[in-house]
Amino acid sequence: METKAKNKTQLAYEYILSRIENGVYGPGYRVVIDQIARELGLSSIPVREAIRQLEAEGLVEFKPYTGAVVSNINEKEYIETLSVLAVLEGYATALGSANLTKEAINELERLNERMERALEELELERFSELNYEFHSLIYAHCGNAYLEEQIKQIWQRMKRIRVYGFTFVPQRAKASIEEHREIIRLLHEQAPPHEIEQYVRQHKINTAEAFKRRR
């Protein structure tokens, strides 16, 4: 019985999360428990539990007289989170640089080319997905499972915001592709780990700086 309850809560969680991530439920959208329960054929209990989980992750907040609504983008949190990600990804890339195969580096080049096409076609959500694949392929080779898990958790937390970030700063997306080419070059030429770490860290900080300057 407990497993069934967890599965229903997970179903509701994934249903709401997907709509937040693809923009159907935008910032300020009122999440109506009874409506979602009807759409999924569930009672209100697992939906309420799912919303509590999303609240704990900062994606939903409760407002007086309104109920659960999709959170607005917290710009301060976005920049702070990017800064932490910069440190972790820089270190993970430096660790992984010694383990990346020629095939993996070729895949990085293909992913970056697909990012460029996605940007040309203004498919910003696809661009963000490919950006995640690009970096996750690198840090999957870092050999530190705890570090990899921490980075994945931060990316998951930022998933909704990241699309908005590239929408706010479209020119940053173009610069990001060029910086990826430099990361690939450093990895291909087996540059010193500290040099790789510093460049990848700056790559992420550049995104935070562009976001701050967008106005």
Cβ neighbours for 130, distance < 8 A, ≥ 6 positions apart: 111, 114, 115, 118
pLDDT reported for residue 1: 45
| pLDDT 10s digits, 34-87 | 999 999 999 999 999 999 999 887 789 888 888 999 887 777 878 888 899 999
In the chain, the N- to C-terminal Cα span, in Å, equals 52
Residues of the chain with pLDDT under 70: 1-6, 159-170, 214-215
Rounded-to-integer distance, Cα 90 and Cα 111, Å? 19
What is the phi/psi pair of residue 60, to 5°?
-130, 145
Cβ neighbours for 109, distance < 8 A, ≥ 6 positions apart: 184
Q: In a 10 Å sphere around its CB, with 0-12 CB exposed, 13-18 middle and 19+ buried, how is residue 69 labelled?
A: middle
Domains in the chain, please, with CATH?
A: 1-71 (1.10.10.10), 73-211 (1.20.120.530)
- Residues pairing with 28 in the sheet: none
Evaluated on CA atoms 24, 79, 140, 149, the torsion sign reads: negative
Which of 197, 151, 154, 203 has the alpha carbon at shortest distance from 180? 203
Which pTM does this prediction carry? Answer: 0.70
Q: How far is CA 34 from each of CA 2, 37, 106, rounded to the nearest angstrom?
A: 22, 5, 49
